[in-house]
C-alpha cells in the first residue's frame, strides 16, 4: 500500500515513515510543505495520504486544502488528516462530499501505534476514522434536552461514539465485551432515536451519524 506522508517536523515525519514501513506500507513520498504535497499527490497517485493540517509556507490549513484539492481531482482519494487540536471545521470539510475514505486524528493518537496504523488501513479501505474528541464535542453540542441525542441511554451514547469512529458492530462488541447481537440492538435503537435510516454498511452509517451530529451547527 503506497502512502504519501506530509509532516513538517523532521523527527515526527521520520518516525511515521519508520512506523508505517514496519507495518508493511510503502512510502511513496515523505514531504514537509504544501507545494511538495500538492505535487506528490498529483504525480504519484498514492493509495492513501497521511497529512498534517498545518504545513509551510502558511502554517494555517495548507495541508488540508492540498488534500481536499487532490480529492476534487481524484474523488474518493483516501486522506487521513493529523491535527494538533480538535477543529470541527476540518472534520466538516473532510466529510463534506459524503464519499468516506477520510480520517481526522489528533497527533497524540500517533503515539498509539496500533490505533494509528488501524486508522490508516481503515481510511485506505474506504472507511472513516474520526478522533474520539471530535465525536465527543459534536455529541456535547447536540445533547440539550430538546435534541434527539438527549434520549440516548449512557450505553447507547457509548456505542454511538464507537460507531462514529468507524468501528463495526463486531469491533464494538469486542471492545465493550458484549455480544454482537447486543450491539446490533443498541445501534437499531440509536438510529431510531436519531431519526436515521438503518444501514448495514459501516461507512455509510458513520457518515449518517456524523452528518446528524453536525447538523444545524
Q: Residue 196 — very low, low, confident or very high, per pLDDT cuts 50/70/90?
A: confident
Q: Is the Cα torsion angle 63, 68, 71, 72 positive or negative in sign?
A: negative
Residue 81: the pLDDT is 94
Q: Is the confidence at residue 4, as pLDDT, over 60?
A: yes
Residue 216: the pLDDT is 47
Least confident stretch, 23-27, 162-166, 176-180 = 162-166
Q: Is the confidence at residue 217, as pLDDT, over 50?
A: no
Least confident stretch, 65-79, 83-97, 132-146, 168-182 = 132-146
Residue 211: the pLDDT is 72
Average pLDDT of the segment spanning 195-216: 74
In our burial notation (b when 16+ CB lie closer than 10 A, e otherwise), range 131-143 reads beebbebbbeebe
Neighbours of 124 (CB within 10 A): 22
Residue with cell 476534487: 72
Q: Is the confidence at residue 16, as pLDDT, over 50?
A: yes
Average pLDDT of the segment spanning 129-134: 84
Three-state DSSP class for residue 31: strand
What phi and psi, each to the nearest 5 degrees, are found at residue 206? Answer: -60, -50
Average pLDDT of the segment spanning 115-139: 87
Omega into 146 within 30° of 0, i.e. cis? no
DSSP line for 144-175: STTSGGGGS-HHHHHHHHHHHTT--HHHHHHH
Q: Is the confidence at residue 143, as pLDDT, over 90?
A: no
CB 103, CB 119: distance < 8 Å: yes
Residue 119: the pLDDT is 92
Q: What is the mean pLDDT of the chain?
A: 88
Q: Residue 96 — very low, low, confident or very high, per pLDDT cuts 50/70/90?
A: confident
Q: Is the confidence at residue 37, as pLDDT, over 80?
A: yes
Amino acid at each position: 500500500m503506497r502512502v504519501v506522508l506530509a509532516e513538517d517536523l523532521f523527527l515526527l515525519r521520520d518516525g511515521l515513515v519508520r512506523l508505517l514501513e514496519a507495518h508493511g506500507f510503502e512510502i511513496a513520498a515523505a514531504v514537509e510543505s504544501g507545494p511538495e504535497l500538492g505535487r506528490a499527490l498529483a504525480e504519484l497517485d498514492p493509495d492513501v495520504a497521511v497529512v498534517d493540517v498545518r504545513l509551510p509556507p502558511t502554517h494555517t490549513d495548507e495541508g488540508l486544502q492540498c488534500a481536499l484539492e487532490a480529492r476534487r481531482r481524484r474523488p474518493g482519494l483516501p486522506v487521513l488528516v493529523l491535527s494538533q487540536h480538535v477543529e470541527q471545521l476540518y472534520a466538516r470539510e473532510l466529510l463534506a462530499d459524503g464519499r468516506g475514505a477520510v480520517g481526522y486524528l489528533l497527533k497524540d493518537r500517533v503515539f498509539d501505534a496500533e490505533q494509528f496504523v488501524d486508522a490508516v488501513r481503515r481510511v485506505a479501505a474506504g472507511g472513516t476514522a474520526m478522533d474520539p474528541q471530535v465525536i465527543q464535542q459534536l455529541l456535547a453540542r447536540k445533547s440539550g434536552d430538546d435534541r434527539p441525542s438527549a434520549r440516548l441511554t449512557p450505553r447507547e451514547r457509548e456505542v454511538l461514539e464507537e460507531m462514529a469512529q468507524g468501528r463495526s458492530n463486531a469491533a464494538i462488541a469486542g471492545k465493550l465485551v458484549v455480544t454482537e447481537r447486543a450491539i446490533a440492538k443498541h445501534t437499531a435503537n440509536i438510529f431510531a432515536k436519531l431519526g436515521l435510516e438503518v444501514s448495514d454498511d459501516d461507512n455509510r452509517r458513520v457518515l449518517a451519524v456524523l452528518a446528524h451530529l453536525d447538523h444545524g451547527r
